[in-house]
């Protein structure tokens, strides 16, 4: 990233053509990472839901506790991603 002090623009970074390009590139990179995290989150949920359906068929207290833990992890991931999306 080109530092704002590397040139003599003298204005806010978002108005400097050099810094603005850097900021836009960084934003694009972060948006891509956020999309990847959301895709992972959805895949995790899909697997969890599939496993929970299977669990209901066979029944197991240990597995039920583990899925409760997974649910808490998903809630934590939701919280983190909602902050990232702001």
pLDDT at 60: 72
Instruction: Kindly indicate the confidence band of residue 1, based on its pLDDT and cuts at 50, 70 and 90.
Output: very low
Question: What is the dihedral sign for C-alpha 59, 67, 31, 33?
Answer: negative
User: What residues does each domain of the chain span?
Assistant: 8-84
Q: What is the pLDDT of residues 18-68, one digit of tens each?
A: 778 888 899 999 999 999 988 988 988 888 888 778 777 777 777 777 777
How remote is the C-alpha of 10 from its chain's centroid? 34
Cβ(52)–Cβ(67) under 8 Å? yes
Cα separation values, 35 from 4, 22, 28, Å? 28, 20, 11
Neighbours of 23 (CB within 10 A): 15
């Amino acid at each position: 990233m080109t530092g704002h002090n590397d040139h003599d623009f003298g204005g806010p970074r978002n108005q400097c053509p050099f810094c603005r390009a850097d900021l836009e590139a960084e934003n694009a990179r972060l948006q891509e990472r956020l999309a990847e995290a959301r895709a992972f989150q959805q895949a995790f949920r899909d697997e969890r839901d599939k496993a929970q359906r299977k669990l209901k068929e066979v029944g197991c207290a240990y597995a039920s506790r583990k899925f409760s833990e997974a649910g808490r992890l998903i809630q934590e991931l939701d919280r983190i991603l909602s902050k990232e999306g702001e």
